[in-house]
Amino acid sequence: MKEALEQLRKKAQDELGAASNKDEIQALRTKYLGRKGELTQILRKLKDISPEERPVIGQLSNVIKESLQAQIEERLQHIDVASRDEALTEEKIDVTLPGRATPYGTTHPITAVSREICDILSVLGFSVVEGPEVEYDYYNFEALNIPKDHPARDMQDTFYVEDDVVLRTHTSPVQIRVMEKMKPPVRIICPGKVYRPDSDVSHTPMFHQIEGLLVDKGITFGDLKGTLTYFLVQVFGKNTVLRFRPSFFPFTEPSAEVDIQCVMCRGEGCRVCGQSGWLEILGSGMVDPELYKTVGYDSEQISGFAFGLGVERIAMLKYGISDIRLFYEGDQRFLRQF
């Protein structure tokens, strides 16, 4: 019996010496000390031994058990330390290296210019409203005096979602939506995205407009001129020269397009203004009485003006950007300049 125990101790120690990783050592623990382990089996037979021999063998087995246990623990700990040391030397973690900074975003130039325009107009008492980008044909065209066969539809032929649902081609449908809900006086601006099937250096299929609408008693073309003059001087500076040019929109009568003298050449004529010396900035006019009929206003009692401007165009002129597509390429070198 004693013999068998000594042999077992030797064998266990040899195997432990040969074991090279944690799994192997754990397996040895089970093999010798587990519930069905070899040493455990021997201890079970203790009851078959003569009473004189029993204490000696019992004590020996306990000594062997404890020493095996201790050796196993020691080897496991050793491996832990060794693998940590190894990891530290191999991975070469430089704990003094500064962390990686999370870069901050910047306000997109279109957002910035849009906010600036809204701020200027808010001072004049306009409140900001919003409208849907996916719009009924009715609001985008019909109610704005652009019936199905009207040639003005060609200029704004657009993306159809369904037969009578489009991606809005301008922010003007908000004029109708607001007048349906509110009685005069109405004084709103509406910034937002609009969609047209154009794409070149000065057109993207999606761009931004800001609509303005003012309806009250006794509003004249003079109010329109005064408001837009104040507004454009705020945006482009006090030396800005404006001109109001007769134009046509189905939903305003009379209509005017507003040009500013070219900010690049100061009216001399250059590439940016196509040698004309003028830059088209916005469309405007007195609200056509047809619209009042549509929304149930009394056109004998009230009058008003509306305007719509392209935010990209204003941003390009303000910052001297020659290609509109730069706004939407997401190049941080461009975007961080604003």
Which residue number, 263 or 281, has a Cβ lying nearer to ligand PHE? 281
Binder among 252, 261, 294, 303 for ligand PHE (CB under 6 A): 252
The one-letter amino acid at 159? F
Region from 52-60, 69-77, 301-309, 311-319 binding ligand PHE, contact rule CB under 6 A: 301-309
The one-letter amino acid at 302? I
Closest approach, Cβ 249 to ligand PHE, in A, equals 4
Total residues contacting ligand PHE by CB under 6 A comes to 10
> What is the tally of helices (H) and strands (E) in the chain?
12, 10
Strands 134-136 and 160-162: what pairing?
unpaired
Closest approach, Cβ 221 to ligand PHE, in A, equals 13
The beta-strand segments (E) located in 129-221 are 134-136, 160-162, 165-167, 186-195, 206-216
Binder among 262, 306, 311, 324 for ligand PHE (CB under 6 A): 306
Q: Report if residue 284 touches ligand PHE, rule: CB under 6 A.
A: yes
Q: Report if residue 172 touches ligand PHE, rule: CB under 6 A.
A: yes
Interacting residues of 54 by C-beta distance below 8 A, sequence separation 6+: 46
Strands 242-249 and 206-216: what pairing?
unpaired
| In the block, residue with structure tokens 């020269």 | 241
- The side-by-side arrangement of strands in the sheet containing 252-261 is 127-128, 186-195, 206-216, 303-310, 278-287, 252-261, 242-249
Binder among 136, 141, 207, 249 for ligand PHE (CB under 6 A): 249
Q: Report if residue 283 touches ligand PHE, rule: CB under 6 A.
A: yes
Distance CA 73, CA 293 (A): 93
Q: Report if residue 307 touches ligand PHE, rule: CB under 6 A.
A: yes
Interacting residues of 126 by C-beta distance below 8 A, sequence separation 6+: 187, 188, 189, 212, 214
Tokens matching residue 129: 């409203």
Beta bridge partners of 212: 189, 307
Closest-by-Cβ residue to ligand PHE is: 308
Binder among 37, 131, 173, 308 for ligand PHE (CB under 6 A): 308
Region from 48-56, 198-206, 216-224, 281-289 binding ligand PHE, contact rule CB under 6 A: 281-289
Q: Report if residue 207 touches ligand PHE, rule: CB under 6 A.
A: no
What is the H or E stretch that residue 259 is in? strand 252-261
Q: Report if residue 224 touches ligand PHE, rule: CB under 6 A.
A: no
Q: Report if residue 227 touches ligand PHE, rule: CB under 6 A.
A: no
Closest approach, Cβ 338 to ligand PHE, in A, equals 25
Q: Report if residue 314 touches ligand PHE, rule: CB under 6 A.
A: no
Distance CA 300, CA 183 (A): 14
Q: Report if residue 173 touches ligand PHE, rule: CB under 6 A.
A: no
Which residue number, 15 or 142, has a Cβ lying nearer to ligand PHE? 142
Residue numbers of the site for ligand PHE (CB under 6 A)? 170, 172, 249, 252, 283-285, 306-308
